[in-house]
Amino acid sequence: MKTSFPTFPTSIRRARRTALAGVLAASLAALAGHAMADDFLDLAKQKVAAATAPKNKWDGPTTGPKAPAGKTIVFVASDMRNGGVLGVSKGVEEAARTLGWTVRVLDGQGTVQGRTSAFNQAMALKPAGILLGGFDAREQATSVKKANEAKVPVVGWHAAKEAGAVDGMFFNVTTSAQDVAEIAALYAVAKSDGKAGVVVFTDSAYAVAIAKSNAMANVIRKCGGCSLLGVEDTPLADTSTRMPQLTTSLLQRHGAKWSYSLGINDLYFDFMGPTLQSAGGSAKGLQNLSGGDGSESAYQRIRNQRFQAGTVPEPLNLHGWQMVDEINRALASQAPSGYSTPVHLVTAENIGNDGGPKNSFDPDNGYRNAYRAIWGR
């Protein structure tokens, strides 16, 4: 008996082929999307591994001019109450003692007027060089110009967004703010296996803070399985009063979806602890990471694994030594070293290395001996 099969009109066959092609295209797109997500996750894990590795090998300059003795330099501080500025100034003083140089530290006391006055005092001392600690060189553009005209080199620390010879400075010493922000966000991607629900904390009063939070948000957006729950603009100066209530509000709004916080500074997490502890189960597993600072309280939280998983500190003492080295290069009419310290992520796993026991990031890479060798000391 001959079996006959129904025949379908051409239009139906065409529609079926089109539908099949659509399903195939969607499947291929999904596979490609998974492959891209896997690649991004692998990249995140590789970068986090590099950033958390021990910093026991010197990767900075190895050649440069010998240093003369008897020079006087002035460190103009934004505000000596700032722990970062204080730490860098101590590094400058330590390096200067090695050279037999004299350091004068002038405190800008946290105001533009105070920094202008301190800069004017620095110029009156007729120093070999002036160091700017923790404020935008553009704020003091007139004074920087006068220093250049007087052949007094100016070296900054956090005096511009990026490292380099910018805004009238011979060199600005800093770790890349972009890299600092990105590694904090990549940690959230890596540790969550690409499933982090993230809230970012920033302060729009500072351009560098916005640049950091934008970089963090962009990393989370690139992670296909992650969710950017929101970017919260909260002034750093008001964290003590605003963060407890804001934390409660965010827990109510996002619940268990909120698994990671990214802050542009450790200060945001100084005042979240009591609220998270009171919240109990609803805050269980929440991981907080800071893209910058590395305060003593942050180190303690990370060590105790209480309300902070990591921070990206800068090597303040090393940066002080580098500032002195850059001034010495300027005095010798040589080019700046061009060195920018790579990012270092501190977590509970590596806090025992690189100065961590003293609640600071002081690389075990022999930078003191490296600079002494360059200077002939």
What are the tens digits of pLDDT across the range 304-314?
A: 999 999 999 99
Q: Tell me the angle at which helices 367-375 and 316-331 cross, rounded to the nearest 10 degrees.
A: 10
Cα-Cα-Cα-Cα dihedral of 42, 47, 51, 53, to 10°?
A: 50
Q: Can you tell me the mean pLDDT for 193-201?
A: 98
What is the pLDDT at residue 69? 94
Give the pLDDT score at 283: 80
pLDDT surpassing 80 at residue 20: no
- Stretch among 180-189, 278-287, 313-322, 323-332 having the lowest mean pLDDT: 278-287
* Residue 156 near residue 173, CB atoms below 8 Å: yes
**What's the number of CA atoms in the CB half-sphere (13 Å) around residue 26?**
6
Q: What's the whole-number mean pLDDT along residues 148-161?
A: 95
CA distances from 126 to 94, 104, 131, 354 (A): 22, 12, 13, 37
Residue with tokens 């590099």: 50
Is residue 328's pLDDT more than 80? yes
Cβ distance 286 to 276 under 8 Å? yes
Is the per-residue pLDDT at 13 higher than 80? Answer: no
Mean residue pLDDT across the chain: 91
Does the structure show a pLDDT above 90 at 17?
Answer: no
Taking 70 as the threshold, does the pLDDT of residue 21 lie above it?
A: no
pLDDT tens sequence across 334-354:
999 999 999 999 999 999 999
* pLDDT band at residue 31 under the 50/70/90 scheme: very low
| pLDDT-wise least confident of 25-34, 48-57, 287-296, 299-308 | 25-34
- pLDDT at residue 356, rounded to an integer: 95
Cβ(129)–Cβ(68) below 8 Å: no
For 49-68, write each residue's pLDDT tens digit.
Answer: 999 999 999 999 999 999 99
Six token digits for residue 254: 């996002």
Please say if the pLDDT value at position 375 is more than 70: yes
